[in-house]
Chain A
Amino acid sequence: MLSALRIVIPYMLRRRWRYTAGLAALLARALLAVGIPFALGMGVDALAAGEPVRDYAAALVGLAVAKAILQYLSQQLLVGAARDVEEDLREDLFARLTQLPQRFYAERPVGELLSLAVNDIVAVRMLLGPGLLQFVEALFVGTLALGLMSAVDWRLTLLIFLPIPFISLTVNYYGKRTQESFTALQQRLAALSAFLEERFSGLRTLRAYTRAEAERERFRQVNEGYFDAALALIRVWRRFYPQLELLTGLTWAATLGYGGWRILEGAMTVGDLTLFLASLALLTWPVIGLGWALNLVERGAASLERIHQIFRTPLQIVDGPHTDYSIDGVRGDLELEEAAVYFPGTEEPILDHISLHAASGVMIAIVGPVGAGKTTLLNLVARRIEPARGRILLDGAELRSVPLAVLRASVGFAVQEPFLFDGTVRENMLLGRPDAEAWEVDEAARIAQLTGEIADLPEGLDTPVGEQGAALSGGQRQRVALARALLREPRLLLLDDSLSSVDLETEVAILERLRLYLRNRTTLYVTHRAAAAQLADEILVLERGQVVERGSHRDLLAAQGRYYDIYQRQMLEEELIHDE
């Protein structure tokens, strides 16, 4: 827990002046706060003696005004500093996230990371802001009030301070129970939601089996489960709040009973009694706050631990001693020698014995069934994964010696289900090169056969594509992604079945244009369509991670092998689609 806390220290040190000023304001405020009951007590005594009280009243107001200002300041300074730490920490976390490898993302649901960047960081802020503030405030006010009150009557003070630790403990204990019950309740709510999700999306099946009545019964049970969890929370609350009231009430009762007796003894004045009563009102909040602060510390520490883990996750594919920084550009001459990739943690190959050579300007088509390793091959070339065996050479140099930034800048990668960001068509196209000229955008759109469709959009290139590109059709999304890849002017263009939702004529037209555009660039493209594959200089047929056939369209047809079968079927399918 403490080791995790260490990571926020530099962030806090950066704001050390504000923290110092905030704590000083807090101390001053505590001093003034304790002065208020004092002034009040003296005022009441003056009243009893028939003396003028104006001075005390003025002191009271003066103290209260100064205290209010200091309270405002300490809150602003300390909580404000914590918010700045929150901002920095979140930024550093996000920066780290942008560097983490794909494998990291494959293992974690989006929701988990989102919760980390939002909820966990908020928990850290609560720890460093309100948590720290309440903790220190309780310390200051508690100590000062203790000193002041025992100067007046130490016996009564002792009696009052007896239940006070129990108040903090009660808040801490039930705060934790509340948190637990609340988490359990949230889990039940999640179960309820999962149940509903399943029923609503499986509605047709259930209807077909006339399950309406029985489903209501099952829902009743799930609903009952939620209700029971809510009862558990009620059971905690129904003890928590009354107990808190009882304990604070006890301090008042002790003051009134024992204090009354001390007055009769002549050991205390009515003003002293008023002082005690006013001090109690002053103490109650910090004492309750202390209990909450302890919870905030525990929760914040757990959150910090989770954040810490992200900072500790290794980055994997990075530049290192193997990097040759003299490489500042790529021509695109690609060579694979007996490359192999295994399933994570096994020796089972996804790809094996892959050798190929693509001089710059060459187009290679890759075809093959699902699971043949086509995508893995492209990922290998883009260095999104590294080979377990074999070598990959780019312009004759080891791929891993090319600085990552240089490599990324020379690769254009378009996938089957491209991710479009919530913005305009233009913004999405400019993702990889925000400074591209307007004519370049138009040119990329033209090659991707988008010109006509963009003109039809309500705001042309500036039409918003919606969340994940929802406003566009699948084929349009794919072509925007292609244009995006082209705008980077890549030396190596990798297309992973990236035109599958585009109709065949358009795909062929795009590839034909690409041929011209890509004259001196290297292209590897995965496709399921023989008509598209036949435009390549070389076709590789992959199956179970191995190249089973390779050659030109003509050669492969003549061989009457796998490629030939694929070709025949697709010709037939085309015929069928066009038969109206």
Chain B
Amino acid sequence: MTSSPVPVRPAPAGSAPATLAIDYALLRRLAKVLEPYRRWILGALAMAGAHALLGAAVPFLTKLVVDVFVGAEGAPPGPPAWLPADPRQSVALIAGVYLALLAVQYLLRAGQIQWMSLAGQRAMHSLRERLFAKLQARPAAWFDRAPVGRLVAAVGADVESLNDLFTSGFVAVTADLLLLLFCFVWMFWFSPALAAVVLALTPLGVVLLWAFRRRSRPAETEVRGAVGSLQGFLAEQIAGMATVQLYSSEQDALSRFRELNAEHRKAQQVALTAQAWFLPAVELLAAVAAALLLVVAGGLIERQAVSLSVVVAFVQYGAIVFRPLQRMMERLSSLQAAFAAAERIFSLLDEPVEESAEPARPAPAPVASRPSKKGNKSEALGVEFDGVWFAYHGEDWVLRDVSLRVDPGEMVAVVGHTGAGKTTLIHLLLRFYEPQRGRILVGGRDLREWPREELRRQFGSVLQDPRLFGGSIESNIRLDPDAVDREQALEAARRVRLDEFVKKLPQGYETPVGERGASLSAGQRQLIGFARALAFRPQFLLLDEATSAVDPETEARIREGLAKLVEGSTSLVIAHRLSTVRRADRILVLHHGRVRETGRHQELLDARGLYWKLYQLQFQDQEAA
């Protein structure tokens, strides 16, 4: 037998559209992705072609054996002259050639799989990298709208099914078509009349395939839909099982489930019926082809227009040419899923990136140089907000005409009730968002004139719930290993008193932090955040104190760590701690997006205004502690 039926991985459920419209623009883009690997792809295609050619030659060997026998009997046409005169030697030679052919086919198939899959995987590998880089360059606000799950799926699973489109789609179909082509070339060479019989039946095969697709495609869509609703219902019920049980609606849930389950079975049954007749039909077609061959050959042999050996070879061809049809059927559904995936990937690639990292206008003043590794703080920067208005959505103002200054060396604390707009100040300074009105100056330069990366390097920031990433504690402190060496990291950890805690861990700084830092307490995560900011030796410290409660011992450590952190640096702190506001050079009270009061702790307390109320609520308890 010439080529094995290669089982194809089924398409992931629920991901394919109902139609398989070939989108040429999409194919062109896909071709571009594959372009760098064209040599391998062409090599693999050449091997697939050679494999098909050899496969199509197998019935020819059968014909030769029969010729040898017929020749030995003395009947025409006899074996070709180039075979040995001794019939036994001839048969041995033919069998030897067959074995050699099998060996070569083995190598060709192995080489084809290797090159094709490698090219595919390499292309997908680089496509993933491109996608990631593109996504990384998106503005922060873009991520507010894009569901993370979709992005993850695009880079992960979608790229994988795109690979299927390439390997099991393009290549396999090409190989099958070549096999068909070569078989027909041989057949016509042997006997145009018999070849015509087989060829006449092929359109029937194509019609079968088409009819099968027409019936099975809606069935598959139905199955995907049924699986989807079944899964959706199950996921919801399992997540809400407590409610189901409390309301004793188990019976209702069960009867709804029974309906969905039955729909699922019915949809599967329809798809199964569509499938169940196709394979028998193709095999029936092959048998009809064999029967027709016998009948037609009977007449031809009588007129000596064809030899017996040719008939035997044709019986074998009949078995080969209908097999690609079966394979194509298996592949079609995975192709559909792949086209949908390709569309999602390319549409993601097309979305706009965070506008140029370069300043919009040429910088009028020389850029403050990046702090050296050893961290001199000679060029401290000031920050100024000048009449800033900002809304995340429409006219929902979060900041209204906010003006504030932080001079070099100063520590300014911002306080306010929940929703006052405090954290937004930090988002704007890091240029995650652009203010709608007013301007923000850093080191006397408009924010928009700063190259984005350069700007962000000026700040060391501790956001409210410091994100930890998979890796060790050390790698989390040294988020940027190029800018922060180990010594700096350890020094920073000592200063914020993270050291004492880390030393108790068996693996010390090498201790892995779990997914999103799950194995560490909120307090410990904050300390790591402090160390991270300090090790970075920023010009300017942005700190959003966490409100979450921690045990008194950790609280004491955090307080001390904070003191070290802000010591002698320029900082803007969103304060939730009494110790912090007391230390501040200035306190701004932000209320409903406006700066309502400014002053030092005692002054503001004496004024008995908003700050005094906030103090009662947020800070007074800490006084006692």
Closest to B154 in A: A196
Measured CB to CB, the closest approach of chain B to A117, in angstroms, equals: 5
Are A248 and B156 CB-contacts (below 8 A) given A227-B121, A257-B92, A382-B246? no
Give CA–CA (A230, B62) in the complex, Å.
40
Q: Tell me if B467 and A202 are in contact (CB < 8 A).
A: yes
Asked whether A281 and B132 contact (CB < 8 A) given A86-B265, A98-B253, A408-B246, the answer is no
Is B617 part of the contact surface with A, judged by Cβ < 8 Å? yes
B337 to chain A, nearest CB (A): 16
Q: Mark contacts of A51-87 with chain B using CB atoms, 8 A cut-off: 1 yes-contact digit, 0 otherwise.
A: 0111011101101110111011001100110011011
Which chain B residues lie closer than 8 Å to A211 at the CB level? 479-480
Rounded to whole angstroms, the CA-CA distance of A201 and B69 in the bound complex is 75
Asked if residues B102 and A50 are in contact (CB atoms below 8 Å), the reply is no
What's the minimum C-beta distance from B87 to chain A, rounded to whole angstroms? 5
B573 CB to nearest chain A CB (Å): 15
B287: which A residues are within 8 A, CB to CB? Answer: 36, 60-61, 63-64, 67
B536 at the interface (CB under 8 A from A): yes
Chain A CB within 8 A of B42 CB: no
Given known contacts A68-B284, A72-B277, A281-B319, A196 and B298 CB-to-CB distance under 8 angstroms: no
Q: Which residues of A contact B70 (CB under 8 A)?
A: 270
> What is the chain A residue whose CB lies nearest that of B285?
A64
Contact B463 A208 (CB under 8 A): yes
Contact assessment for B4 and A248 in the assembled complex, using a CB-CB cutoff below 8 Å: yes
Q: Are A264 and B68 in contact (CB-based, < 8 A)?
A: yes
Closest to A65 in B: B284
The interface size bin for chain A is 35 or more
Q: Which residue of B lies closest to A568 (CB)?
A: B616
Judge if B272 is at the interface, Cβ distance under 8 Å.
yes
In the complex, A497→B18 CA distance in Å?
Answer: 46
Q: Which B residues lie within 8 Å of A577 (CB)? A: 417
Instruction: Kindly state whether residue B311 has any CB partner on chain A within 8 Å.
Output: yes
Q: How far is the CA of A278 from the CA of B95 in the complex (A)?
A: 18
B364 in contact (CB, < 8 A): no
Name the segment of B179-187, B237-245, B403-411, B494-502 touching the other chain: B237-245
For A241, the chain B residues whose CB sits under 8 A away are: 4, 6, 109, 113
Q: How many pairs of A and B residues are in contact by the CB < 8 Å rule?
A: 390
B484: nearest chain-A partner, CB-CB:
A209
Q: State which residues 38-57 of A face B: CB under 8 Å.
A: 40, 43-44, 47-48, 50, 52-54, 56-57
Q: Mark A232-272, 1 if CB is under 8 A from B, else 0.
A: 00100111011111101111110011111101100000100
A450→B161 CA distance, assembly (Å): 47
A284 CB-CB contact with B under 8 Å: yes
Q: Which residue of B lies closest to A369 (CB)?
A: B549
Chain B CB within 8 A of A200 CB: yes
Which partner residue on chain B sits nearest A271 by CB separation? B312
Contacts A198-B516, A264-B87; is A434 near B246 (CB within 8 Å)? no
Our pick among A72, A83, A95 for the contact of B254 (Cβ within 8 Å) is: A95
B366 interfacial contact with A, CB 8 Å: no
Q: Which residues between 216 and 262 of chain B lie within 8 Å of chain A, taking CB atoms?
A: 227, 230-232, 234-250, 252-254, 257-258, 261-262
If over half of B's interface residues share one DSSP class (helix, strand or loop), that class is named, otherwise mixed; here it is helix
Q: Hey, what's the 0/1 contact readout for B443-463 against A, CB within 8 Å counting as 1?
A: 000000000010011010101
Flag if B277 contacts A53 (CB, 8 Å).
no
Q: Tell me if B294 counts as interface (CB < 8 A to partner A).
A: yes
Are B261 and A192 closer than 8 Å at their CB atoms? Answer: no
Which A residue sits closest to B86, measured CB to CB?
A: A264
Question: Which of the 9-residue segments B133-141, B388-396, B551-559 touches chain A?
Answer: B133-141
Q: Are B91 and A87 closer than 8 Å at their CB atoms?
A: no
Which of A214-222, A334-342, A524-532 makes up part of the contact surface?
A214-222
Contacts A212-B453, A260-B69, A273-B66 given; does A576 touch B319 at CB 8 Å: no
Q: Which of A75, A194, A270, A408 contacts B308 (CB 8 A)?
A: A270
Our pick among B151, B253, B291, B479 for the contact of A209 (Cβ within 8 Å) is: B479
Are B284 and A47 in touch, CB under 8 angstroms? no
CB of A524 to closest CB in B, whole Å: 15
Chain B residues with CB below 8 A from A569, complex form: 616-617
Q: Name B288's contact: one of A64, A198, A261 (CB within 8 Å).
A: A64
**Are A97 and B238 within 8 A (Cβ)?**
yes
Interface of chain B residues 468 through 497 with chain A (CB within 8 A): 469-470, 479-482
Q: A196-B156, A408-B246 are in contact. Are A207 and B456 (CB under 8 A)?
A: yes
Chain A residue nearest to B482 in the complex (CB) = A214
Cβ of B66: which chain A residues have Cβ within 8 Å of it?
270, 273
Q: How far is the CA of A47 from the CA of B70 in the complex (A)?
A: 13
Question: Which of B160, B261, B315, B515 is within 8 Å of A278, CB to CB?
Answer: B315
A260 in contact with B480 given A44-B308, A47-B297, A432-B249 (CB within 8 Å)? no
Asked whether A68 lies within 8 Å of B281 as measured between CB atoms, the reply is: yes
Contacts of A251 in B (CB 8 A): 1
Complex CA–CA separation, A52 to B299 (angstroms): 9
Q: Could you tell me if B143 and A200 are in contact, using CB atoms closer than 8 angstroms?
A: yes
Contact A57/B247 with A44-B308, A97-B241 known, Cβ cut-off 8 Å: no
**Contact call B272/A79, Cβ cutoff below 8 A:** yes
Given contacts A79-B272, A257-B95, A260-B91, contact A193 B152 (CB under 8 A): yes
Q: Is B152 a contact of A200 with CB atoms below 8 Å?
A: yes
Q: Are B234 and A264 in contact (CB under 8 A)?
A: no
Q: Is A567 an interface residue (CB 8 A)?
A: no
B519 within 8 Å of A (CB atoms): no
Question: Are B247 and A488 in touch, CB under 8 angstroms?
Answer: yes
A151 on the B face (CB < 8 A): no
Contacts of A189 in B (CB 8 A): 156-157, 160
**CA–CA, A230 to B163, complex, Å?**
11
Does A460 touch B at the CB level, under 8 Å? no
A484 close to chain B: CB less than 8 A: yes
- Given contacts A87-B265, A260-B68, A288-B5, are A231 and B121 in contact (CB under 8 A)? yes
A245:B617 contact, CB within 8 angstroms = no
| Contact between chains at B121 and A118 (CB < 8 Å) | no
Chain A nearest CB from B426 CB (Å) reads: 9
Q: Which of A210, A246, A257, A292 contacts B457 (CB 8 A)?
A: A210
- Contact A256–B143 (Cβ < 8 Å): no
Find chain A residues with CB under 8 A from B15 CB.
none
Residues of A within 8 A of B247 (CB): 408, 431-432, 484, 488
Give Cα A138–Cα B45 distance, bound, in whole angstroms. 34
Query: Hey, what's the 0/1 contact readout for B532-573 against A, CB within 8 Å counting as 1?
Result: 100010000010000000000000000000000000000000
- A288 and B326 CA atoms in complex are apart in Å by 15
Stretch from A297-305, A386-394, A417-425 at the B interface: A417-425
Among B298, B302, B456, B457, the one with the most A-chain Cβ atoms within 10 Å of its Cβ is B298
Partner of B613, one of A68, A200, A284, A576: A576
CB within 8 A of A418: which of B69, B235, B243, B283? B243
Residue from the list B88, B235, B291 in contact with A110, Cβ < 8 A: B235
CB distance from A539 to the nearest CB of B (A): 22
Task: Give the docked Cα–Cα distance between A243 and B290 (Å).
Answer: 29
Say whether, besides A202-B469, A573-B617, A419 and B248 are in contact (CB < 8 Å): no
Contact residues in B for A309 (Cβ distance below 8 Å): none
B106 in contact with A242 (CB, 8 Å): yes
Confirm or deny: A348 has a beta carbon within 8 angstroms of a beta carbon on chain B: no
B102 nearest in chain A by CB position: A249
Q: Mark B48-78, 1 if CB is under 8 A from A, else 0.
A: 0000000000100110011011101000000
Counting CB contacts under 8 A, is A413 at the interface? yes
A533 vs chain B, min Cβ distance (A): 19
Known: A60-B294, A98-B241. A273 touches B470 (CB 8 A): no
Q: Which 6 A/B pairs are nearest by Cβ-Cβ distance? A: A257-B95, A64-B287, A68-B280, A432-B247, A202-B467, A419-B240
Given known contacts A98-B253, A234-B117, A241-B113, what 18 new A-B pairs fall within 8 Å (CB)?
A40-B290, A47-B311, A58-B291, A71-B280, A94-B234, A113-B238, A200-B148, A207-B456, A216-B136, A227-B125, A238-B110, A242-B106, A242-B113, A245-B102, A246-B106, A256-B65, A257-B92, A431-B249
User: Can you name 8 A-B pairs with beta carbons within 8 Å?
Assistant: A91-B258, A94-B257, A98-B250, A105-B241, A118-B230, A206-B479, A238-B110, A278-B315
